[in-house]
Amino acid sequence: MLSKESKIYVAGHNGLVGSAIWNNLLQRGYTNLVGRSHKELDLTDQYAVKKFFDEEQPDAVVLAAAFVGGIMANMLYRADFIMMNMKIQCNVISEAYAHGVKKLLFLGSTCIYPKNAPQPMKEDCLLTSPLEYTNEEYAIAKIAGLKMCESYNLQYGTNYIAVMPTNLYGPNDNFHLENSHVMPAMMRKVYLAKLIHDGEWDKIAIDLNKRPVEGVTGEGLLLHQPSYILHRDEVLSKLAKYGIFDNRVVLWGTGKPLREFLWSEDMADASVHVLLNVNFSDIIGIEKYSSVHFGASTDGAVDRNHSAGRGGYIPSLGEIRNCHINVGTGKELTIRELSELVVKAVGFEGTVEFDASKPDGTMRKLIDVTKLHSLGWTHKVEIEDGVQKLFDWYKHSLEA
């Protein structure tokens, strides 16, 4: 087990989930944390990762770093999505093993499941039918990552756990309109449409300066600035491309698809709970697992790094697979219902329209969280409260 003095490396500690996990660990008294920004450590660089592990010698690793993006990015940069993520995973997991890391937590995504998987999606539906084409490469990389964890455990007796979160939202979310996910994009659109109607160009300028849209900032938007009228026309034209108008927002699709959302700080709490309290033996059945003679493989060879590990495939255990854990709420709502919550949080009095000529995407993506609940964790933040919390955070981020 990890102690309060254990050194824990959080890969991706500046991201949506990584930053929340970092803060959750600190709140629990785990202060010996190590993090590196992408500039400080390129996780796709095998030699740099080895050097980092040589120097830091962490006791535990949380692998929350990934090469990510929205649907368009997944379609355009397919080679990057599979190669970059595979490199990150291979480098970190292999060096964790080489340096005797006691515990590793790998974060994936529920996009690993088949496009037409039965709902709600259980862990056992993995690899039962084709994936969604638009994010196939990212999903394959994440499947490889969870299989690495599973396979290292089975061959070497390591304690690597993989968790698969549903759609996440929360502090440090990405609100850039070009590549953000559904909730932050919707929230910003509604907020900007309200500001346009209210004539609050000073707040629009602050918003665009913080997060430019296709390179367009808030410079030149105010009355005392030269050519402000021309620039306002440019801004309105640019925002219209994203369905943002005066007191009116147009969203893609019919609004009928169902989605599940999890507050990122809940995800962090679940991750830390698993890191500190759940072992591989708990997932596959402790009685069956502990009845095995540890430390020797089927050919009699001793596990060179983990004397207490399984040390090889043992036929009496049968097939062991799908050892990952779904992390979510087990609850869903339609995109239209989500838009109503966003409208309420923002205080928007205009109209929200849906463009049915645009694609809806997968109609339902609900996960089964029975395994997670059996391991002692359930979510705390309900979507109604979470949407308001996210908008409060967004407004605060504009003031920072």
Residues with a catalytic annotation lie at 138
Q: Which two tokens stand for residue 218?
A: 């808030």
Strands (E), the chain: 8-11, 33-34, 60-63, 103-107, 160-165, 167-169, 244-245, 248-252, 258-259, 261-263, 325-327, 333-334, 351-355
At 399, the amino acid letter reads E
Cα–Cα distance measured from residue 16 to residue 2, given in angstroms and rounded to the nearest whole number = 24
Q: Which two tokens stand for residue 344?
A: 């309420």
Place of tokens 């998987």: 117
At 43, the amino acid letter reads L
Cα–Cα distance measured from residue 225 to residue 83, given in angstroms and rounded to the nearest whole number = 47
Cα–Cα distance measured from residue 25 to residue 17, given in angstroms and rounded to the nearest whole number = 12
**103: how many CB neighbours lie within 10 A of its CB?**
24
Cα–Cα distance measured from residue 8 to residue 24, given in angstroms and rounded to the nearest whole number = 12
Strand pairing category for 160-165 and 325-327: parallel
Cα–Cα distance measured from residue 355 to residue 351, given in angstroms and rounded to the nearest whole number = 13
Peptide linkage before 212 cis (omega within 30 of 0): no
DSSP state of 317: G
At 324, the amino acid letter reads H
At 213, the amino acid letter reads V
**Sign of the CA dihedral with 14 first, then 15, 17, and 18 last:** negative
